[in-house]
């Protein structure tokens, strides 16, 4: 009798435990559903301006201000055709080419200079390295606006105005402290065993950097290149200050110029060219997304 009672009691406890697990699992599922619903809602809210931009680029100028929806009534491609021609003697292709004349060398110089600088800070014993690193980090707190006038006067003395040099050449000197800091933090998380083995095999410091560290730095380097690419593509103030010839304008200035060309702004043309101007950054981001996430997620880890 006692054994039968104990067996029944155990069965009841097992049933109660199963019920509790089911309730707990149901609560977890409901919690997950609520979290995903919130994330999807927030994502749609954040994506709506981009979706509206794409839809509005196919609307007529009048429909843009009379319809709040993102789907056009009739797809009108005239905004892309006329916008690409622009109101100047040059097509939008010229301004895209000018943009890449700035972006490509600036990205390459930024990657080379920041990798070398970060390698020096992370792996070499330099007298006063801590003070130099503190100064480097301190530049992150310096607003760029306070440097505009001194830089302009300096570049004027160099006879660099109305050229791409003021926008490109500084990148060769690792002026972006944020990128240097990010690479230093990434280097600190890498083990030194492979470097020591390479030194034993006869590699010098430069060979260690090229053959050992750079392959491991690939995610961080791609993150640096991606950030610099998008920031330079979107840069408006720099070209506005240093470039005065219409034939040398990048995309950012060309978009603003299309708004000032006449009293009546053809917004469908502006929005259409804005969509085209976004494409290079979106394409590069999605191609490098995996490495970009790896570079950001592992930056800051120390080994």
Residues 6+ apart with CB under 8 A from 91: 84, 85
Residue with tokens 């895209």: 96
Q: Which residues of 79-91 are buried (b: 16+ CB within 10 A; e: fewer)?
A: bbebbeebebeee
**Do 251 and 277 contact (CB within 8 A), yes or no?**
yes
C-alpha–C-alpha distance, residues 207 and 192, integer Å? 14
C-alpha–C-alpha distance, residues 128 and 118, integer Å? 15
Axis crossing angle, helix 129-138 with helix 92-123, rounded to the nearest 10: 150
Query: For the CA atoms of 105, 107, 111, 114, what is the dihedral angle to 10 degrees?
Result: 100
pLDDT attached to residue 163: 94
> Among positive and negative, which fits the CA dihedral 156, 229, 252, 101?
positive
> Among positive and negative, which fits the CA dihedral 193, 194, 200, 203?
negative
pTM of the model: 0.82
C-alpha–C-alpha distance, residues 292 and 90, integer Å? 35
- In angstroms, the Cα distances linking 293 to 181, 220, 235, 282, 289 are 17, 9, 23, 15, 6
Mean pLDDT by 10 residues, the chain (303 residues): 62 74 84 91 88 88 79 84 85 93 96 94 88 89 88 94 95 92 88 86 89 89 92 92 93 83 75 91 84 58 44
């Amino acid at each position: 009798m006692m054994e039968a009672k104990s067996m029944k009691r155990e069965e009841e406890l097992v049933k109660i435990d199963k019920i509790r697990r089911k309730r707990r699992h149901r609560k977890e599922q409901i919690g997950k559903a609520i979290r995903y619903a919130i994330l999807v809602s927030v994502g749609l809210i954040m994506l709506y301006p981009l979706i509206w931009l794409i839809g509005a680029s196919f609307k007529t100028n009048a429909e843009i201000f009379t319809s709040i929806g993102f789907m056009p009534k009739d797809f009108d491609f005239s905004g892309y055709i006329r916008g690409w021609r622009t109101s100047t003697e040059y097509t939008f292709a010229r301004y895209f080419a000018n943009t890449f004349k700035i972006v490509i060398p600036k990205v390459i110089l930024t990657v080379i200079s920041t990798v070398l600088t970060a390698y020096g800070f992370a792996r070499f014993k330099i007298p006063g390295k801590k003070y130099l690193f503190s100064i480097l980090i301190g530049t992150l707190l310096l607003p760029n606006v306070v440097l505009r006038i001194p830089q302009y006067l300096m570049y004027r003395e160099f006879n660099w105005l109305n050229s791409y040099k003021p926008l490109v050449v500084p990148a060769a000197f690792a002026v972006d402290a944020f990128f240097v800091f990010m690479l230093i933090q990434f280097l600190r998380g890498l083990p030194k065993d492979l470097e020591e083995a390479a030194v034993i095999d006869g590699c010098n410091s430069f060979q260690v950097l090229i053959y050992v560290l750079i392959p491991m730095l690939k995610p961080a380097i791609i993150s640096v290149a991606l950030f610099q690419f998008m920031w330079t593509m979107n840069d408006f103030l720099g070209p506005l200050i240093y470039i005065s010839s219409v034939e040398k304008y990048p995309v950012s200035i060309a978009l603003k110029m299309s708004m000032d060309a006449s009293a009546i702004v053809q917004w469908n043309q502006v929005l259409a060219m804005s969509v085209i101007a976004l494409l290079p950054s979106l394409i590069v981001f999605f191609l490098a997304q995996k490495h970009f996430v790896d570079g950001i997620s592992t930056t800051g880890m120390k080994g």
